[in-house]
Amino acid sequence: MKSPNVLRSGNNRWWRFTALSLISIVGWCDQVRGESQQEILIFTSVDTFKNISGDVPNIDDSYIQPAVDVLYSYSGEKFRFLAEYFLSNRESELERMKAGWKTGDNTMLWFGRFHSTAKYWTTEYHHGQFLQTSITRPGVEAWEDDSGPMPSHITGLSIAHESFRPNEAAINYSFSVGLGPEFVGQELVPFDLLDPGSGNDVSYNYRMAYRPNVLSLNQFGLLAAWNEINVVSESNPELANLDHIRQITIGLFVDWNWDKWRLLSSFIYFNNDMQFVDAPRKDEFVSGYVQAEYRAAKDWTIFGRTENGFNEDMSPYLRILPSFIAHRNMIGVRWDFASFQGFTVEIADNRAQGEGSTHIDFREVRIQWSAVFP
């Protein structure tokens, strides 16, 4: 777990880069003819965490994390632009910056830094805590700097297409290729737009989603990715002699609503080819989650999630991600009040992967206030 008071280096550079980029691109947008729309959304949240299992190695006893996520979007007749910056007392990062062009009635081409299409939760909620019902994200959906096991941010090109069917159904296709993260210390580190000479390698991501009714949010589909991950061996003794990781992931997801219920689930198969200097090592496991939500009243939602997998407990790849939450059983309640504000409480029993063959079991309580403005 990271210290809540540590901010990433180079924050001032990030702010200057973000501001200059926004000014230049928004200025260019004004030259584009046709109707246009600009919008700024500010997602704010305050999270409190309490470890109720006593003194547990590598797990904080408690912390408070205020955060703000600023999302700017521009939409013209053909041109699109989006930028997102996240700031908290634990980190500060330019999360997304991408420019897009509408090449057809149902096709968009994007260039820049964006979220991986091979992670459903990520592309559904992004960094807006208010948008998701729960406080926590499933372990397999965690961000790179929270011990996520697969890339969350890609810098390159992506294309999205929606195909309408005669029976009022729709199929969405998304494909992206670009630079993914490298493995440094105990986490994946995304490509740095300000350091293009870094050792990041290529990442391919794909998603296909089927919606039985184009007007409905119900959908299910396929996820897949091929990630070439360079390793900075000297950053951690556990990475000694590990030069490269070739990762293939294949997954399924479903997001289904009926009456007062919602089911959200995804399971991912991992195939990791770990290229050690002496000999390669193969690693295969499955990790996933099932989250159920029940709208008990107009402003109240009860929810729970279980996270589990197959062959993940002894995975050599997950051993170098000791903070990865391999198992979780969680229950919570959310109250939506006022205008676009929510108050959520979660209680969970967790198992972190830990170092070597040692796992870390702990129980936690989380409380969160979240909102979106304006």
Q: What angle do CA 232, 233, 239 make, to 5 degrees?
A: 120
What pLDDT, on the 0 to 100 scale, is given for residue 36?
85
* Contact indicator for 183, 318 with CB cutoff of 8 Å: no
Between the alpha carbon of residue 147 and those of residues 8, 161, 323, 350, the distances in Å are 16, 31, 6, 14
What pLDDT, on the 0 to 100 scale, is given for residue 63?
94
Work out the pLDDT band at 181, boundaries 50, 70, 90: very high
* Contact indicator for 178, 152 with CB cutoff of 8 Å: no
**pLDDT of 132 over the 90 cut:** yes
Q: Please choose, from the candidates 84, 87, 77, the residue with its C-alpha nearest in 3D space to the C-alpha of residue 123.
A: 84
* Contact indicator for 297, 326 with CB cutoff of 8 Å: no
- Sign (positive or negative) of CA dihedral 190, 191, 194, 195: positive
Instruction: State what percent of residues in the chain have pLDDT above 70.
Output: 90
Percentages helix, strand, coil for the chain, rounded to the nearest 5? 10, 55, 30
CA 255 – CA 365 distance, rounded (Å): 26
Question: In the chain, what are the domain boundaries?
Answer: 11-373
Mean of the pLDDT values across residues 180-192?
Answer: 93
What pLDDT, on the 0 to 100 scale, is given for residue 197?
67
Q: What angle do CA 186, 246, 229 make, to 5 degrees?
A: 45
Mean pLDDT score across all residues of the chain: 89
Strand 182-184, strand 219-232: pairing = parallel
**pLDDT of 28 over the 80 cut:** no
**pLDDT of 126 over the 70 cut:** yes
What pLDDT, on the 0 to 100 scale, is given for residue 116?
96
Q: Indicate the pTM of the whole model.
A: 0.88
Lowest mean pLDDT segment, chosen from 107-111, 136-140, 197-201, 281-285: 197-201
CA 369 from chain centre, in angstroms, equals 20
**pLDDT of 32 over the 60 cut:** no
CA 359 – CA 367 distance, rounded (Å): 25
Instruction: State what percent of residues in the chain have pLDDT above 90.
Output: 77
pLDDT in tens, 233-266: 999 998 999 999 999 999 999 999 999 999 999 9
* Contact indicator for 180, 170 with CB cutoff of 8 Å: no
What pLDDT, on the 0 to 100 scale, is given for residue 5?
33
- DSSP secondary structure code for residue 237 in this structure: G
CA 247 – CA 259 distance, rounded (Å): 39
pLDDT in tens, 288-337: 999 999 999 999 999 999 999 999 998 999 999 999 999 999 999 999 99
Cβ burial 84-102 (10 Å sphere, 16+ → b, else e): bbbbbebbbbbbbbbbbee
What pLDDT, on the 0 to 100 scale, is given for residue 57?
80
* Architecture of the domain delimited by 11-373: Beta Barrel (2.40)
**Residue 114: CB partners within 8 Å, gap ≥ 6?**
96, 98, 153, 154, 155, 158, 176
